C-alpha cells in the first residue's frame, strides 16, 4: 500500500475518485445510468461528475437497463470504455441477456477479434429495509459465466484500486458495491495506485481458523475475529477481492495453515459463491483440514421487509463467532 499521509475517504468517495481519475486519464471512459448526472445517483456516489465531465460523458438514461447495458456492449466494442451504473443489484436480472449472451461471449465467439472493455457497477447487501427486490446480493450469477470478471471491494482503498483496474481491463467486469458500506471510512492515499485482479488480501492474520469473506461480510468477519480473540482463538480473515479471477493459492495456503475454514458471502447460501470457494478449499487442502469447510450466506428466503425478519437473514458477528468457536472446539 502506498504511503497514506492520514487521508481517509468513504467508500462512496473512493468510487467517485476512481471514476474521476480514469475519466481524466482516458477520454474514452463514459458513464451511463439512471439518475446519475444531475442527481449524482440516489446514493450520491457520483455527485459532481457531470459538472466536471459534461452530459456527453455522464449520461442520464431512460429506465431501460437491458437497453443501455446492450448499448454499452456495442460502445465498448467500437472504441469507448463505458461504465454502466445499475442502481440496485436486483436489477441486474434485466441486463442478463446483454451481459451473459452478448458481453461475455463476444470475444470468444469472434475468435478473439472483438473486445468488450466495459464495467457494470451495481450494489449488493441487505439490512437497508428495502425488501425483496432491492436487497439481494446476486453477484454469483455473473461469477457463473465464462467471459465475465467479478470484483467486490470491502474497503475504500480496495474500491478505488479495483475500480481503476476494472476500467482499464479489456473485458467486461461486473463490480459490486455494498450499499450499506458507502459511508464506511478508510485510508486512501493521494497517490495513484491500482490493485490487480486475482490477488486476495489478508485483512487480518491468524493461526487457528481462516474466515474467507467477501464485500459486506469482511467487516462482519473482522468483528467476529475480535470476539474470537477474546475467546483465545486466532482468526485469519481473507478477502478474495475478485471472485473471477480467484486467488485460489492464497485461500488454499491459509486453509493448510489453520486447518479450519469458514466462508462467508452475502449471496444466497445455496449454489453460491461460498459454496464454490468451499469447494476450491476442500479440493486444495482436504488432507490438512480438521473439520469440514463451513459456509455462511444469506438465508434461502426472499429478503423480508420487517427489521427483525430481515436481520435474521444475514450472518452477524455473533453468529460467525459462535460458528467459528464450535469449529475450533
Partner 1 sequence: MATAVDPSPPDSQTASEPWLRMYRRMVTIRLFEEQVNDLYTRALMPGLAHLYIGEEAVAVGICEALRQDDYITSTHRGHGHCLAKGAAPDRMFAELLGKEAGYCKGKGGSMHIADPATGNLGANAIVGGSTGIATGAAFSAKRLGNGRVSVCFFGEGALGQGALYEVLNMASLWKLPVVYVCENNLYNEYTHYSEVTAGDILARGAAFGLLAEAVDGQDVRAVHAAARRLVDRARRGEGPALLLANTYRYFGHHVGDVSRDYYRSKQEEQQWKTERDPIQILGAWLIGQKLADGARLEEIHAEVKAEIDRAVQFATAAPYPGADKVQQDVYAGE
By the criterion CB under 8 A, which residues form the site for partner 1? 30, 56, 59, 61-62, 64, 66-80, 82, 97-98, 101-102, 106-117, 146-147, 149, 169-171
For partner 1, the closer of residues 119 and 225 by Cβ is: 119
3-state secondary structure of 262: strand
Smaller CB separation from partner 1, 148 or 277: 148
Would you state the cell numbers that stand for residue 312, as one nine-digit string?
435474521
d(CA 210, CA 255): 6
Strand runs labelled E in 152-276: 173-178, 185-187, 201-204, 209-213, 235-239, 242-244, 261-268
Reduced to 3 states, what is the DSSP secondary structure of residue 214?
Answer: coil
- As a whole number of angstroms, the distance between CA 46 and CA 244 comes to 26
What is the smallest separation between the CB atom of 137 and partner 1, expressed in angstroms? Answer: 24
Q: Which of 41, 107, 134, 139 is catalytic?
A: 134
Residue 6 or 112 having the CB closest to partner 1: 112
- Is 134 catalytic? The answer is yes
Helix (H) or strand (E) holding 112: none
Q: Which is nearer to partner 1, 20 or 66 (CB)?
A: 66
Q: CB under 8 Å to 8, separation ≥6 — which residues?
A: 156, 185, 186, 187, 188
Tell me the closest approach of the beta carbon of residue 93 to partner 1, in angstroms. Answer: 13
CB of 67 to partner 1, least distance (A): 3
The distance of closest approach from Cβ of residue 77 to partner 1 in the complex, given in angstroms and rounded to an integer, is 6
**70 three-class SS:** helix
Residues involved in catalysis: 134
Amino acid at each position: 500500500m502506498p504511503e497514506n499521509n492520514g487521508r481517509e475517504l468513504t467508500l462512496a468517495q473512493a468510487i467517485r475518485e476512481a471514476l474521476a481519475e480514469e475519466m481524466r486519464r482516458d477520454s474514452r471512459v463514459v458513464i451511463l445510468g439512471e439518475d446519475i448526472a444531475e442527481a449524482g445517483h440516489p446514493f450520491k456516489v457520483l455527485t459532481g461528475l457531470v459538472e466536471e465531465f459534461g452530459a456527453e460523458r455522464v449520461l442520464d438514461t431512460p429506465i431501460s437497463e437491458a437497453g443501455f447495458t446492450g448499448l454499452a456492449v456495442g460502445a465498448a466494442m467500437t472504441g469507448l470504455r463505458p461504465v454502466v451504473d445499475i442502481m440496485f443489484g436486483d436489477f441486474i436480472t434485466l441486463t442478463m441477456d446483454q451481459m451473459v449472451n452478448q458481453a461475455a461471449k463476444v470475444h470468444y465467439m469472434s475468435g478473439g477479434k472483438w473486445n468488450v472493455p466495459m464495467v457494470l457497477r451495481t450494489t449488493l447487501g441487505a439490512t437497508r429495509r428495502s425488501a425483496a427486490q432491492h436487497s439481494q446480493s446476486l453477484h454469483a450469477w455473473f461469477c457463473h459465466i465464462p467471459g465475465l470478471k467479478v470484483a467486490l471491494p470491502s474497503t475504500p482503498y480496495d474500491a478505488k484500486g479495483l475500480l481503476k483496474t476494472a476500467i482499464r481491463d479489456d473485458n467486461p467486469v461486473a463490480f459490486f458495491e455494498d450499499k450499506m458500506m458507502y459511508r464506511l471510512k478508510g485510508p486512501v492515499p493521494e497517490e495513484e495506485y491500482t490493485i490487480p485482479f486475482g490477488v486476495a488480501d489478508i485483512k487480518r492474520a491468524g493461526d487457528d481458523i481462516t474466515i474467507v469473506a467477501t464485500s459486506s461480510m469482511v467487516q462482519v468477519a473482522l468483528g467476529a475475529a475480535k470476539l474470537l480473540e477474546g475467546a483465545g482463538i486466532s482468526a485469519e480473515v481473507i478477502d478474495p477481492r475478485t471472485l473471477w479471477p480467484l486467488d485460489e493459492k492464497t485461500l488454499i495456503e491459509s486453509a493448510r495453515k489453520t486447518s479450519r475454514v469458514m466462508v462467508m458471502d452475502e449471496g444466497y447460501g445455496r449454489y453460491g459463491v461460498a459454496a464454490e470457494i468451499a469447494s476450491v478449499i476442500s479440493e486444495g487442502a482436504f488432507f490438512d483440514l480438521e473439520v469440514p469447510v463451513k459456509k455462511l450466506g444469506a438465508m434461502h428466503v426472499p429478503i423480508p421487509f420487517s427489521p427483525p425478519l430481515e436481520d435474521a437473514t444475514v450472518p452477524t458477528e455473533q453468529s460467525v463467532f459462535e460458528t467459528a468457536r464450535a469449529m475450533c472446539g
